[in-house]
Structure 1
Amino acid sequence: MNIEKENFKITDEPITQSQKKLVQQDYNTNVAFYVHLSEYNNNVREELIRRIEEVFFFAKGVDWKFDSFGIEKAGSRGTNILGYFVFRATNAKKLQDFFIQEFKDYKNALKITCSIAKYEKVEEHFFEIGVE
């Protein structure tokens, strides 16, 4: 799509209510966890969900949003079986502590790998396209 040819206005500030709801934070911290699993069976997904719900329960007072969750079986992109979780959080350390506390006794876990990345919004633009 050639934006210059299209008939819509790109702005640096949100104008409509929908655009205002889409405004992203100036600073963002993503916290990602891999739980390396020794095996995958029918109970693994339910157990991971139960444990992550406990993290959510204890994470009161931590400003966070759940971004994604999934299980990668061996062979899909590597040799390990991985449960992965991605959060957006303002207090990454506290969320990390809750996560480790809840998963440290999980017998199916071989290890936990964590990544904390901080992002700063450089620019943001808004536009709407009619599709009727």
Structure 2
Amino acid sequence: MSDKPSVLFVCVHNAGRSQMAAAWLTHLAGDRVEVRSAGSDPGAGVNPAAVAAMAEVGIDISAETPKMLTVDAVKESDVCVTMGCGDTCPVFPGKRYLDWQLEDPAGQGVEAVRPIRDEIERRVRTLLTELDAPPQH
């Protein structure tokens, strides 16, 4: 186990919200936080509107791929942030769970994804301060 905190972001398809959240945390925390993302029913690829919205703020998630949520991924994380996946995320004692109610960007254009991206950034910045790992920027 690492000394640095680890965060797992989970949404159904691991194609939009969880990918954007993981990218924000990686961007802001650098290597001070271990970041993972996964989905309970991974999609075929990352949402192109999410890729475009993140590119607008200088973060490239075009090479990311949706990953299947595993019990090990949850066990290995200090914080598990769910985004619309309901009860599919396994719960273990001693873990911190957050449920972020965010609109699903699936099937929406970049204009609709921008406010979701910005809200995810705000929440990730708050999470970072709670993890006591201040942003690099």
Judge same fold: TM > 0.5, yes or no.
no
Q: Name the TM-score class by shorter chain.
A: under 0.3
* TM norm structure 2: 0.25
Structure with bigger gyration radius: 1
Greater strand fraction, Structure 1 or Structure 2: 1
